[in-house]
Amino acid sequence: MRNVALLLFLGLIVALPAHAQTPPDTQPGLLGRIPQTIMRPWEHDLIVSVGFGGEILGSSVSEGFDFAVYNETASVQTSQRYGGAFLFGVGAGWRVWRNALIGGTFTRVSGDARSAVTAVVPHPVDFGRTRTTAGSSDSLQHQESAFHLSAGWMVPVRDDIDIGLSAGPSFYFVSHEFVGALTPDNLDENDPPDFETVSIRSLQPREESDWTVGYHVGLDGTYRLPWSLPGFTELGANGFVRWATASVTLDAVSGPRKVRAGGVQGGLGIRMTFDDLGFPRIPLPW
């Protein structure tokens, strides 16, 4: 995925013409234009972005466990699919040297953990006889709060278009609702007095959460709007694509289970830039 992001980054740079063109007879070739464009100065002090979007490429987690009913043992298999959720993000970046920035973005992803359950339940009267039932629920939740610490490089491919590439560690707080332990109170016995079938009345959530660390790589582009709000040097329409990944081990009913976080994230937003703030620069020797 990082290679794909880099190719897109270079493709956008080449496709969009630079503001200052050289004469046709002296214009450099493709490979010559890339370093010229990458090193073109980007001189803002601070950027602040707010965006909305979604996360795709969901993940799944499954488990099996037993519980006691009618002095026998019932068995349960669960499977959950989560992802494809709504995303909100806000971030900022500070230029520390030439076109290089350091910054961070907070993102929040929340969506359903779509759950399917299959249970093999003993008969209430005939010892050793079982019935099989299945159920599903969209009421369980999966949530991710993350802070993406980034180092980035901004490229002003035109006076009104900037491209940025960033990467760094991602710090996640993941909250996930597993299917909780079933009990006889969660079951409905049907067709008395033979009780040929049984159904699952409800699924109880088991919420677990923890911190974990992953990483991300991102690509974004900003088009400068012809007007701005008071106090901002520029106001731009921003689009972004980010691939972030992490995993955390949480305690389900049957024991520890690995829950993955992140995915391919994308969206649109607004970016504000600030100039002449007097921020210090890193005194690098080159």
Distance separating alpha carbons of residues 153 and 143, to the nearest angstrom: 30
**Domain of residue 113, CATH code:** 2.40.160.20
- Domains of the chain: total: 1
175, part of any domain: yes
Quick one: DSSP state of residue 184? G
Burial of 68 (0-12, 13-18, 19+ CB in 10 A): exposed
130, part of any domain: yes
92, part of any domain: yes
pLDDT, tens digit, for every residue of 35-81?
A: 655 667 777 889 999 999 998 877 899 999 998 888 999 999 999 99
Q: Which residues of the chain have pLDDT under 50?
A: 1-25, 30-31, 286
pLDDT at 33: 55
3, part of any domain: no
Structure tokens belonging to residue 141: 């939740």
Q: Can you give the residue range of the structural domain that contains 162?
A: 33-274
21, part of any domain: no
3-class SS string, 41-93: CCCCCEEEEEEEEEEECCEEEEEEEEEEECCEEEEEEEEEEECCCEEEEEEEE
